A and B are shown apart, each in its own frame.
Chain A
């Protein structure tokens, strides 16, 4: 494949090669337009993932840490979390967050798109579940998703592959849910349970959040990207975008980026697509200042970087007498419950949460986390306490819907910069009263189900700090340019050749993991672009 002349304009320039960037690149490839993607990180090598070595758990604390401030690869950028009780976690490389994600892959519910109409809070999305339904299905096929049809909490859907084994952990918790008469279902997971599209099935190694050596976890570097590249898309790694430049006619002209040697480069494009996630996208747009947009590109609404939503997470762990083989099998994917997903005002809060059953950790992490929590002491009692917990735990992660609030923001840090001198992102976030009540309710219910399942000891954390996995809402979509940054198909209201396709454009967050919906949205936007190619900028 020939390298693009850096000065030669391309048709479409995508920034970010993560979950959404990959999907949009693949979908647009069949237009035969000249498409280039700039990604600040590297291609990953599965042979370098931690599970290839005996020190796999130690590496999770270093080069494969989920927190970029701890990981500190030179492809990472720092994030100032000082004003937030939740830390942003991510991965910067081809595949983006999907390299380290747990691959729990539920879709938003139909109700999630219409919370204003249904519950009188936040805003409705300008699109519905039905709009995205074909793209959810297309994405499930492209990624390789496992699950079980028939969940009454969803409209009919058919995952292409059979579900992840529940294991003893799932069975135990399922019996607890059944005792209480609560909903549960095997999780949809972006992990293949049968050989699929040239990839081998999951080996139940466990620590999916440090990268999958087997290639069974569907990260976009091994799903969308190989196909997009075969179809002619050019992906340039180690290219970090600093800003988007504006032409005199008010359209995006291209970008300025630093290549791997730190050289400043200019890439012009007819269309610019942002796919840097809910923190990275507002960061670069806020850094793209001009006389026309002194507060950041595409920010005439003033909403860029505002309404940041995470999913606040609480965590309860139960210890069981029986051995549950907890450290085996995909750690984050097992079963889930939607019993408390929808609004019931008698609970004292609006909207709801999903309960995600997670498996246990490996030996070292069991010991070191037990030391930190005081549950596994050093000294003569160490072995007894260790053996009581190791392979004997099951956990419930309570993942709460976060409502959009203007004061939860991504801004540019006035001092902190990355290795290229680009201002870092600064997070200002406070937990709402609604979220606090929801977390409390969730912990109570998680403890109840663990007890019903037979746990002999239960401990809980009402807010997990390192759980800023889901980065949403900072460039929301909507019909009104005064109250949204992009329109119903991801096009900036202000700059007609600028699109955003990542989690920033979520209007509300739902109460579950967002990547399936992020990618369905990216495919929908790409498809809408293709249908409107003749009058894309009208």
Chain B
């Protein structure tokens, strides 16, 4: 725990918050058909506060490392800036991807968008096709057998 580092309920300044929104928007943008939300639409900070508080200071440092105009340049330029970030800070960037994907792929809207059920798997469960066991006829038609061994 990083006690004392986070002094308000919402740990980012407005500038950091805007940068984070843009950064997440680059990592997983909304799909063009509008089916899938952007990662920036989800509340990464709330998730980190609940599950991965330790990562917050690194995230803040990472956001502070981005140029001030990151939020105003166009998408391609932001994309290039994030590419540079991923090369310069590979460990931190990987951790960011991990947390961003963790939030994204737990979101009910996202799960619905990819055709998966939202919520905990248990006790809901899943139904799967039993499969056609007559496909085994081909196996049984061959003379293959287990190898005999001395007892």
Contacts and interface: CB of A to CB of B under 8 A. Distances in A.
Interface stretch (A20-28, A176-184, A266-274): A176-184
Interface stretch (B1-9, B14-22, B57-65, B138-146): B138-146
Interface in B95-149: 97-98, 101-102, 104-106, 110-111, 114-116, 118-133, 135-136, 138-140, 142, 144-149
Given A130-B151, A206-B121, A378-B28, A152 B146 contact: yes
A53 B119 CA distance: 7
B126 A185 contact: no
B29 interface: yes
Contacts of A328: 126-128
A389 to B, nearest CB: 11
Given A111-B146, A171-B129, A51 B122 contact: yes
A380 B75 CA distance: 10
B129 A165 contact: yes
B105 A383 contact: no
Interface in B77-105: 79, 82, 97-98, 101-102, 104-105
Given A113-B149, A114-B150, A378-B97, A203 B123 contact: yes
B126 A203 contact: yes
A351 to B, nearest CB: 11
A219 to B, nearest CB: 15
Nearest to A118: B149
B120 A53 contact: yes
A424 interface: no
A148 B124 CA distance: 27
B27 interface: yes
Contacts of A181: 138, 142
Nearest to B125: A203
B26 A183 contact: no
Contacts of B97: 368, 371, 378
A54 B120 contact: yes
Interface in A9-62: 49, 51-58
Contact of A327 (B26, B110, B116, B148): B116
Given A171-B132, A205-B121, A363-B111, A57 B105 contact: yes
Given A58-B102, A364-B101, A386-B114, A204 B128 contact: yes
Given A118-B147, A118-B149, A152-B146, A184 B139 contact: yes
A379 interface: yes
A118 B102 CA distance: 51
A204 B126 contact: yes
Contact of B119 (A54, A150, A363, A378): A54
Contacts of B140: 150, 152
A167 to B, nearest CB: 4
Contacts of B118: 54
Interface of A: 49, 51-58, 109-111, 113-114, 117-118, 128-130, 148, 150, 152-155, 163, 165-168, 170-171, 174-175, 177-178, 181, 183-186, 203-207, 213-214, 323, 325, 327-329, 342, 362-364, 367-368, 371, 378-380, 382-383, 386-387, 390-391
Closest 9 CB pairs of A and B: A166-B131, A203-B125, A328-B126, A213-B122, A364-B105, A167-B128, A51-B122, A363-B105, A110-B149
24 contacts: A51-B122, A54-B118, A54-B119, A58-B106, A110-B148, A128-B150, A128-B151, A130-B151, A148-B133, A152-B140, A166-B130, A168-B131, A174-B131, A177-B139, A185-B139, A203-B126, A205-B121, A206-B126, A214-B122, A323-B115, A364-B102, A364-B106, A368-B97, A378-B97
